[in-house]
Amino acid sequence: MQWVRYRPSAPVDRYVKCFWWSRRDTLRDYCEHMLPSSGVKALFALHETPILCWPASLSKGQIEWSGGLVNGPL
């Protein structure tokens, strides 16, 4: 897996803590957890493979999306 992290310079650094990019050459069957934080996270998938999410409450079922996602406090 390749992973790059970039901290923007002024004036963008007032609004964006960091940009990061990752690439996986092979598909993997595992989960990644998003921990709660006070910030907003924007995810842009640069591939066509759907991203799956299982909410903490399994009664809601599986959520599937592609393209992008915004996660954070309301």
Nearest CA to 45 among 12, 23, 14, 60?
23
Length in residues, the chain: 74
* pLDDT tens-digit readout, 13-69: 998 988 888 777 776 666 666 677 788 888 888 878 787 777 766 566 777 888 887
Q: How far is CA 30 from CA 15, 33, 49, 50, 52, in A?
A: 31, 10, 15, 14, 11
- Per the confidence metrics, is the pTM higher than 0.85? no
Measured CA to CA, the distance from residue 59 to residue 2 in angstroms comes to 35
Q: How far is CA 36 from CA 27, 40, 61, 73, in A?
A: 26, 10, 21, 8
